[in-house]
Amino acid sequence: MKLELIPLLILALLLLSAGGADVETAEFVIEGDHEVTDHRGALIVGDATVTVPPDAEVPGPVYVIGGELRVEGTVAGDVTQLAGVLALEDGAAIEGRLQHVAGTERTADGAVVAERTAVEVTRNDPGPVAAYLPTALATLALALAGAWLSRRWPTLLENVGATARDHALISLTVGGLVFVTFLSVFVFMAFTLVLVPVSLLGLLLGAAAVAYGVVALGYLVGRRLETPRVGLATALGVAVVVVLLEASSAVPVVGDLLAIGLLLTGFGAVVLTYFGLRRFEPVTLPE
């Protein structure tokens, strides 16, 4: 599942719950091509193609957060489009309200929509300063955090950085496994309204762990500057790592893989060392 679908999925579940529908009966279609002829409860279309064929009627509500919803029959309830593609073919009917927030909509002349609302989103072309300002602020925050940590508790960054450097493959593997596992757990918890705050808190902690890994990698880079001012060296090292991550995004596929690999390696080292509280020693087999 694409990562960008997670916040949209949580938003769809919150809207679903606010509308009084039963969240536990909601079906989330993640991938593939599906033809829906009879469905009970809400339907959430993710990174998939879902078709309501002619002469078929689904009750709704239906949320489109990605992929494509192709309606050739009837949706008796509401349809909310947050992203993706919504195609209403000739003979299609939405007997509830169609709420368009974002995404692409194609409506044939013979399609019927009982009620339609739209959220207008005005997009302004940001200038170069506005475009890079979030990255600059994030870099500054990470650099300041790195400078503070390296002066107050250098052992924490030393443990994480040494693990990422000396056991890069293990760190990358652990980082990838933990990331995929926790992502699945958080998405599962998001289906239960009570656990949505826990899911959001978990995502924030995960993002903090990834940021901590970037700081630790910056600490490693800063040590190569051979300056006695460890705080300044770490801050500069963090800036170098962030610039490298940003620059790598300009190279399709290879650059993305490099950036993901660096982030997962740092994240894995954070997990292996319990946020730097202990040094990681791999298990050795007896001779």
pTM: 0.63
Q: What CA–CA distance (Å, rounded) separates 108 from 234?
A: 59
Residue-wise pLDDT for 39-90, tens only, equals: 677 888 888 888 888 888 888 788 888 888 898 888 888 888 888 889 888 8
Q: What CA–CA distance (Å, rounded) separates 218 from 157?
A: 9
Q: Note the pLDDT of residue 185.
A: 75
Q: Note the pLDDT of residue 212.
A: 92
Question: HSE (CB half, 13 Å, CA atoms) of 106?
Answer: 10
DSSP type of residue 191:
T
Per residue, what are the HEC states of 145-174?
Answer: HHHHHHHHCHHHHHHHHHHHHHCHHHHHHH
Residue-wise pLDDT for 164-223, tens only, equals: 899 999 999 998 898 888 777 766 666 665 666 777 777 788 889 999 999 999 898 888
